Amino acid sequence: MPTEADLMFRPALELAALVRAGEVSARELAEASLAAIAEHDPELNAFCHVDADGALATADAIGPGDKRPFAGVPIAVKDNQPVAGLPLTFGSSFMPDFVPDADAFVVRRLRDAGFVIVGKTTLPEFGILPVSEATRFGPTRNPWDPERTPGGSSGGAAAAVAGGMVPIAHGNDGGGSTRIPAACCGLVGLKPQRGRISRGPAEGASHLVQDGVLTRTVADTAAALDVLAGYEPGDAYWAPPPAEPFATGANREPGRLRIGFTTSPPIEVPIDPTCAAAVHDAAVLLAELGHEVEEAEPGWDQPGLLALFSASFGPAVSTAILLAQALAGREATAADVEPLTWHVYEQSRALSAPEFLAAQAQLNALLRAQAPLYERYDVVLTPALAERPVRHGEIDPRGPNPAATFARSGAFTPFTATQNVTGNPAISVPLYHGEDGLPTGVHLIGQPAREDVLLALATQLEIAVPWAGRRPERVGAS
C-alpha cells in the first residue's frame, strides 16, 4: 500500500485500480494531490488555479467498484482549454476574468473517464514558446533543476507531474508543446495523429494542435488516448479509428521494425552532444532488441522552413487574441501583451488571406516531401531537444528583439514542429539521464495514424530501461 507521499508518483491506472478495489478512496487521492500542491507549488509554480472544493466534491461522488478507467484519479488541465467554472487565461494578462460555463470536448471526456480535476496549469502567453515564463504567472520551474525551464507550452503540466502533484496532466501540442516538456521533465509525451482527438467545440478544424497528456508510463498514455480519441459531432476531419484499443496495442510485441535514426535537424542549428549521444545509444539498444536500424537522411532541412511555420502558427495566436479582445470589449495594444506575442500578432495581421493560404500550401509541399521517409521506415528516431533544458531567461518573451527570440526557441526545439505540419504521431520518451542529472528524452516519429506502433515500441523501451520510478531529489527521489 503506497504512503500518501508516494501516491502522486504512482501510475494513474494503478491509482484507479486502488479506488476500484476500495483500498484507497477518491477523496484520499484528491487530498494527497492538494497536499502535494500546497507543499511543492510555491517553488515550482505549475498551477495558476487550484480548485480544492470542486476536486473534493467530485471525489466524494466516486466510490469503490467504479468501472470508469480513471475513476478517482487527480488530473490538471492546461489553461488554454475551457473548464466549466474555472478561469481561462491563456497565460495572458490581457485576458479578462473569464470563467466559461461549459467544458471543451476533451475536458468532458476526461470527466467521463472518471478523472478528478484539481486545477489548471501554467503556460507561456498564448502558448507561443517552448518555455513557460508568462508575465502573468512568472516562471514555472523544472523539478529536476528549478533554475531551468520545464519546457512549454505545456510546462505547468509537466512540472505538476514530475513534481509529484498529480499523476497525469492534460497538455496539447502545436509545435512540440507536449513532447518538449516531457523531454525537459523526464516524462512520456505523445502527440497523436492529427484529428485523433477532437478540438471542438471552438477549434474543430485545428491544423497544428492536438491534445493529449503527460504521464510517467506508456500504459497511462495509451489508456488516456483510448478515452480521449474519437469523432465529435461537427469535427471537420478525424483520424481513422484504430483496429484495437491503444492500450491493447501498447502491450503487443512491436515485431521487427525498420527504424531510421538521425541527429540532423530540419533547421541549421547545433545539437548538444548529450542529446546526440542519447539517439546513438537508443539506436544501439533498438538494434539489440531485434529491430533493423540504420542512419537515415530525412531531407527535411528545407530553406525557409521556420518562416513558413511562423506564418502558419501565427494566425492561431491571433485567434486567441481576438477572443480576448471580444471578452475585454476593446482592441489589444502592444502594452497589453508581451513583445513576442505582439510581434507574432502583427506579423499575422499583415498577412492577407491569400498570403496565409499560400504559406500553408508551401509548408505542406515542403514537408510532403517526407512521405518517402515513412515508406522506408516504420519509425524515425531523433533527439527530442537540441539542447539541455535552458535556464530561465535564455528565451525571453519580453526581450528587445522578438524575431530573435522566436528563432532562439526554434534552435532549442528544432525536431518537433514538422510533425504538427505533416500530422504524423510522435512521442518523446525519457530513456536516459545526462551527467548533469537532467532527463534526456528521445523522440520517435511514426507513420500516419500508427500510434499503436509508437506505443508498442515505447513500451518495449520502457521495459528495457525502466524510467517510471525516477524522481527529482527535491520532491522525493527513489
What is the sign of the dihedral through the CA atoms of 355, 356, 359 and 364?
A: negative
Q: Tell me whether residue 78 is one of the annotated catalytic residues.
A: yes
CA dist., res. 338 & res. 335, Å (int): 8
C-alpha cell, 292? 533493423
Helix axes 26-44, 52-60, angle to 10 degrees: 160
Assess contact for 47 and 120: CB atoms under 8 A: yes
Annotated active-site residue 153? The verdict is yes
Q: How far is CA 113 from the centre of its chain?
A: 20
Cβ count within 10 A of residue 74:
32
**Residues 265 and 414: beta-carbon distance below 8 Å:** yes
Please say if 264 is a catalytic residue. Answer: no
**Which residue out of 92, 132, 177, 348 is catalytically annotated?**
177
Residue 382: closest CA among 300, 288, 474: 300
Instruction: Say which of 33, 92, 132, 153 is annotated catalytic.
Output: 153
Q: Whole-angstrom Cα distance, residue 283 to residue 290?
A: 11
Strand (E) or helix (H) holding 442: strand 439-446
The contacts of residue 264 (CB under 8 Å, 6+ apart) are 297, 298, 301
Please report where in the chains the cell 500508427 appears, as a residue: 450
Cα–Cα distance, 39 to 193 (Å, whole number): 37
**Residues classed as catalytic:** 78, 153, 177
